[in-house]
Amino acid sequence: MKLKLEWTYKTPKNQVITLMSDEVSAEDALRLAEDFERTGRTKELVFYDERQTKWTKKELIRLIKEIETEPQDIIAYFDGGYDIQSGKAGLGVAIYFTQNNKPYRVRVNEVFEEMESNNEAEYAAFWLMLNTLEELGVHHSTVTFKGDSHVVLKQLSGEWPCLEENLNRWLDRIEGKIQKAGIHPIYDPIGRKQNSEADRLATQALEGTLVSSKIEIKVK
């Protein structure tokens, strides 16, 4: 969870000034707030999340406690590989997140049949990724979506139009699911090399090797 901290304080000459911080983690925002309060000149402290929702310090502390057991700091990778001969698509998803202050990784892949194009395979992979997030209990959280399909990510962000009817159906379903889950999406197109994990999972699916795993990442 990322936040901006708005600090309103009085100078020694009783001038009121308001400053806004850069975006920081919730923990850092609370530490900054405590530092500001020690000055003895704080008039008001408020926090703004990625949706620009306003929180008081007391409300924020309660929120952090409530969501501590839920997935946070979520980065989700997706990739779809299309086999033109069979019309099948291999879908790959890798999701990184923290939960109870521990880092985890989920990997899953699947085969979809009766696909029409590589772009449709990429949309199907995004759909699988959303279903996986739903199974993890992700809701009302910020999720950074990464993939090498600039078409899918830029159409979802609204930067590019979607003119194909079958892709528009996928687009509508995905947008509806994101909205229903209350997810704040960040769309981050990346290069193919940066998406190698999801790409490998998609290839394995087409080869007949299905993967479904969740592991805790051991920090050295």
Q: What is the pLDDT of residues 16-65, one digit of tens each?
A: 989 899 988 888 889 999 998 888 888 899 999 877 889 899 998 888 78
Tens of pLDDT, residue by residue over 104-130, are 999 999 999 988 899 999 999 999 999
Task: Give the span between the Cα atoms of 219 and 159, in whole angstroms.
Answer: 37
Q: Where exactly are the structural domains of the chain?
A: 2-67, 72-216
Report pLDDT digits (tens) over 56-109.
999 988 887 877 788 989 999 999 999 998 989 999 999 999 998 899 999 999
Do β-strands 54-55 and 42-48 pair in parallel, antiparallel, or remain unpaired?
antiparallel
CA distance 39 to 147: 45
Cα–Cα distance, 213 to 197 (Å, whole number): 13
pLDDT in tens, 131-167: 999 999 998 888 999 999 999 999 999 999 999 999 9
pLDDT, residue 65, reads 80
pTM recorded for the entire structure? 0.80
Tokens of 77: 């990778």
| Residue 198 pLDDT exceeds 80 | yes
The domain made up of 72-216 has a fold known as: Nucleotidyltransferase; domain 5 (3.30.420)
pLDDT > 90? residue 11: no
Q: Which H helix or E strand runs over 31?
A: helix 26-38
The whole-angstrom separation of Cα 205 and Cα 198 is 11
